[in-house]
Amino acid sequence: MIIVTHEVRNQPPPLENFNAYSSDSVLQEAVAREGAAWIAERAEAFGARIGSREVLHWGELANEYVPRLRTHDRFGHRIDEVEYHPAYHQLMRLGIEAGLSSLAWTEQRRGAHTARAALFYMAAQAEAGTNCPITMTHAVVPSLRLQADVAAEWLPRVFAARYDERFLPAANKRGVVLGMAMTEKQGGSDVRSNSTTAKRLDGDTFELTGHKWFCSAPMCDAFLTLAQAAGGLTCFLVPRFRPDGTRNPLYVQRLKDKLGNRSNASSEIEYADTWAQRIGEEGRGVRTIIQMVHHTRLDCAMGSAGAMRMAVRQAVHHCSHREAFGKLLTAQPLMQNVLADIALEAEAATMLVMRLARAFDDSGRDASAKSFARVVTPVAKYWVCKRAPTQIAEALECLGGAGYVEESIMPRLYRDAPVNSIWEGSGNVQCLDVLRALHTHPDSLDALVDELGATRRADRRLDAAVAQLQQDLRATSELEARARRVVEKMALTLQASLLLQHAPSPVADAFCASRLDAHWGNEYGTLPSSTDFDAIISRARP
């Protein structure tokens, strides 16, 4: 017997089958402005896939049916393989075949990093875990290029833009995925403490023995890793198979049981006489692998900005359909303030990361763009990744109790948010890196000041904040202890300057009136009551 006790009403329709690109004017404007207008058609097609019911469902499945480690086969042989739900493979295929790990290098057009960044930003809205191996495969390229013979063998496999989940020697596959393994038990930020040893076999080939405490996506075809060789800490490429086609001893001891990022397996591994090829000069391991890390840091910020965008989408959608006390939530002044504030945060994050992506594009031929990217990458990684968890928590609350329920995607967005701030250099490490950049590359401060110069005298609040920032930087005493405040100010002044140049005036004004004001409220929803909330929210409407 079917019992119908009530009519379901005042519930929003599901947010699905939307286009993550054409519904995002902030992203479209940034793509055009930052030199990647040529990607628009592909971005629109990709945006439709990302917002489709099918792909959003893959994201749910890949996180519900988490990866499982098989250390041995039924006969007792070690196999060290991880099994994923088919939805994980679908997401990997979608991302890799859209060019997320290759197009920044294979497209000969100007703006390739920016174009790829826009796609990555959208991918992060459907599912974040698969973006870890996709990012690493993209970011490994500059480090691999430091070893010409290895690059000649491996880069065509990366550039093939094909996903091949079979566990086979890389030479027999249509495309590859690459990872990195640096962190050891005794030190992650301080990789110089790595204890894994490298014994030379002959020429550039070595055998490694030791462990890595975090190694994500262990089914990657190869990993960049660090080990102590006779000449000091050195970077190596460790493939899952030796050149003779036998399995390379890489023991996956266990998978981490993590807060979020659950579709992505993160493992503890051990090397025991594991075959490896040297990458870059012996003793220059950090300098070699940091090229990869520079690119993964941009993606951390990009992924967090994408997640914030998705959070706003969900919140605005819900509140546009949900009534309380006889009025839509979007018509309630205090909710308008909250929605506008989280939308403002997402818009400022998007502008900053897309501007930074252009600096990556320009770095090859413009020294000042390279200096800008050097200092602004850790600034953006710090600030955008730090803002995401609180912004997403606030967006979650806009859905009320429904936001706390798994089916709404909000719990997953929330759980996935903190990791971008931890890996690839945690918050403090980013801030210290900003100070290092300013010290070792004095040009980077000039590049930052030049950038801010574009809006000199455009807004007195910004002028005052920039003057304060310069004063803070000149006072060198206890700079390390003040680093977070200084970096925060760098991020906020950059965001304000970008908004003043490129966003409608209500958006820029609300940003300056809150983020640059000493009396800025501690929570979201504390914009001045004179703010044009509608003007801000309308840019975030899905």
Ligand X SMILES: Cc1cc2nc3c(=O)[nH]c(=O)nc-3n(C[C@H](O)[C@H](O)[C@H](O)COP(=O)(O)OP(=O)(O)OC[C@H]3O[C@@H](n4cnc5c(N)ncnc54)[C@H](O)[C@@H]3O)c2cc1C
Is 182 a binding residue for ligand X by CB under 6 A? The answer is: yes
Contact (Cβ atoms closer than 8 angstroms) between residue 348 and residue 488: no
Question: Which residue from 403, 401, 216, 217 is spatially nearest to 310, judged by alpha carbons?
Answer: 403
DSSP E strand stretches across 416-534: none
Give dist(CA 43, CA 31) in Å, integer. 10
Question: Which range in 166-174, 365-373, 421-429, 497-505 contacts ligand X by CB under 6 A?
Answer: 421-429
In angstroms, give the least distance from the CB of 34 to ligand X. Answer: 28
Q: How far apart are CA 318 and CA 15, in angstroms?
A: 9
Of positions 103, 178, 180, 448, contacts ligand X by CB under 6 A: 180
Helices (H), 265-327: 285-321
Sequence-ordered list of residues with C-beta below 8 angstroms from that of 263, at least 6 positions apart, any chain: 59, 62, 63, 66, 67, 84, 85, 88, 91, 127, 129, 130
Binding-site member from 183, 330, 391, 514 for ligand X (CB under 6 A): 183
DSSP secondary structure string, 120-182?
Answer: HHHHHHH-STTHHHHHHHHHHHHHHTTSHHHHHHHHHHHHT-------S-GGGSS---EEEE-
Stretch that binds ligand X, among 184-192, 193-201, 306-314, 390-398 (CB under 6 A): 184-192
Rounded-to-integer distance, Cα 341 and Cα 394, Å = 10
- Residue in 197, 368, 426, 538 binding ligand X, rule: CB under 6 A: 426
The one among 404, 428, 485, 520 contacting ligand X by CB under 6 A: 428
Distance between CA 7 and CA 526 in Å, rounded? 37
- 423: contact with ligand X by CB under 6 A: yes
Contacts of 233 (CB under 8 A, 6+ apart): 191, 192, 194, 226, 227, 283, 285, 286
b/e per residue 165-204 (b: at least 16 CB within 10 A): eeeebbeebebbbbbbbbbbeeebeebeebebebeeeeeb
Q: Kindly identify the residues of this chain, within the stretch 313-332, that bind ligand X according to CB under 6 A.
A: none
Mention every residue, 6+ apart, whose C-beta is less than 8 A from residue 478.
Answer: none
Site string for ligand X, 40-59 (x = CB under 6 A): --------------------
Name the residue nearer to ligand X (CB basis): 239 or 542: 239
The whole-angstrom separation of Cα 110 and Cα 420 is 28
- In the complex with ligand X, which residue's Cβ is closer, 265 or 316? 265
Least CB distance from residue 124 to ligand X, whole Å?
15
**Secondary structure of residue 517 in the 3-state scheme:** coil
Closest CB 480 distance from ligand X, rounded Å: 8
99 to 72, 283, 299, 538: CA distances (angstroms): 34, 33, 14, 31
Instruction: Compose the 160-179 pattern: x for residues touching ligand X by CB under 6 A, - for all others.
Output: -------------------x
531 near ligand X, judged by CB under 6 A: no
Name the closest residue to ligand X (Cβ). 188
Q: Is 283 exposed, middle or buried (0-12, 13-18, 19+ CB in 10 A)?
A: middle
Nearer to ligand X, 19 or 296 (CB): 296
Judged by CB under 6 A, the residue of 181, 238, 276, 380 near ligand X is 181
Contact status: 422 vs ligand X (CB under 6 A): yes
Q: How far is the CB of 257 from ligand X (least distance, A)?
A: 11
The interface region with ligand X, picked from 146-154, 287-295, 422-430, 445-453 by CB under 6 A, is 422-430
Between residues 309 and 415, which has the closer beta carbon with respect to ligand X? Answer: 415
**Range 4-43, binding ligand X (CB under 6 A):** none
Nearer to ligand X, 143 or 266 (CB): 266
**DSSP structural state of residue 366:** -
How many amino acids of this chain bind ligand X (CB under 6 A)?
Answer: 24
Contact call for residue 102 and ligand X (CB under 6 A) = no
Contact with ligand X (CB under 6 A): which of 140, 265, 419, 452? 419
Residue located via tokens 């967090």: 304
Of 5-13, 68-76, 148-156, 185-193, the window that binds ligand X (rule: CB under 6 A) is: 185-193
Work out which of 63, 102, 266, 497 binds ligand X, going by CB under 6 A: 266
Dig out the tokens for 131 from the structure.
């973006």
Among 170-178, 187-195, 233-241, 353-361, the segment contacting ligand X (CB under 6 A): 187-195
From residue 204, give the alpha-carbon distance in Å to each of 77, 144, 450: 30, 14, 44
Interaction of residue 296 with ligand X, rule CB under 6 A: no
Q: Are strands 222-229 and 178-181 parallel, antiparallel or unpaired?
A: parallel
CA–CA gap between residue 414 and residue 308 (Å, rounded): 10
Residue whose CB is less far from ligand X, 223 or 372? 223
Among 57, 93, 258, 284, binds ligand X (CB under 6 A): 258
Q: Whose CA is closest to 306, among 377, 430, 392?
A: 392
DSSP bridge pairs for 268: 254
Which phi and psi angles does 280 have, rounded to 5°?
75, -175
> Which of 296, 251, 249, 247 is closest to 82 using CA atoms?
251
Q: Which of residues 135-164 bind ligand X (CB under 6 A)?
A: none
Decide: is 189 part of the binding site for ligand X (CB under 6 A).
Answer: yes
Contact between 343 and ligand X (CB under 6 A)?
no
Nearest CB to ligand X, comparing residues 304 and 314: 304
Q: Using CB under 6 A as the criterion, what x/- string covers residues 452-481 for binding ligand X?
A: ------------------------------
Find the shortest distance in angstroms from Cβ 184 to ligand X.
8
131 binds ligand X (CB under 6 A): no
Please, which residue, 427 or 506, has the CB nearer to ligand X?
427
Instruction: Pick between residue 179 and residue 285 the one whose CB is nearest to ligand X.
Output: 179
Q: Which of residues 194-223 bind ligand X (CB under 6 A)?
A: 214-216
Residues that bind ligand X (CB under 6 A): 179-183, 187-190, 214-216, 258, 261, 266, 419, 422-423, 425-429, 432
